[in-house]
Amino acid sequence: LLCPISLFLPTEVCSLPPQTGPCKARMERYFYNPASSSCEVFVYGGCGGNENNFKNQEQCMKTCGIPPETGPCKAYFNRYYYDPASMCCKHFIYGGCMGNQNNFITNAQCLQACLPDEVCNQPPETGQCDGHFQKYFYNSTSMNCEDFVYGGCGGNQNNFDTKGACMKTFMVHCVHLYHGGEYATNKVNWSI
């Protein structure tokens, strides 16, 4: 598996403090708290703030995640863990006891559990703000990157500044579909 270009947020985002933002909505969101190594609830106002802001705990943990733990035992098991910074599953040595849930017997199991394929199917999302910015999203139906109007805040992760950046990201994430241990490349019209 080629390690993809980072689609999600850089790891420093996970250390930002939660920010409610200037708007007055009261939305339950999650932020990653590095002090507790967990995703915690906070109240989001609906606009502004920063990118340490997730719709659910699963999305938060997939992005900011937990590092693998070898455990206190002295066995030598080859295992794989998901690294959210590179969006790849990486090899590590597991001691055989304790540890945590970021521990998979095979690379394929790790990818199946952790790789965020749902991003490939996200529709373009304008967001809550009233700006008018041309952005690009991956259309899983046409298997191409297309433009849409972005309002400037909110939205989802299927949002790119250029068609080239969109295509480069989704060439890895959405076109190379994992099927039982092999990768099958779909026919795609990559025109910029």
Structure confidence by residue, pLDDT tens digits, 52-94:
999 988 788 777 777 888 999 999 999 988 776 566 778 999 9
- Asked whether the domain spanning 119-185 has the same topology as the one spanning 66-115, the reply is yes
List pLDDT tens digits, range 83-122: 765 667 789 999 999 988 788 898 877 766 665 556 677 8
- For the domain made up of 8-64, give the CATH fold: Factor Xa Inhibitor (4.10.410)
Q: In the chain, what are the domain boundaries?
A: 8-64, 66-115, 119-185
For the domain made up of 119-185, the CATH class stated in words is: few secondary structures
For the domain made up of 66-115, the CATH class stated in words is: few secondary structures
Q: What percent of the chain has pLDDT over 70?
A: 72
Report if pTM > 0.75.
no
* Residues belonging to the chain: 192
What DSSP letter does each residue of 18-46 carry, written as one string?
P---SS---EEEEEEETTTTEEEEEEE-S
Element holding 133 (H helix, E strand): strand 133-139
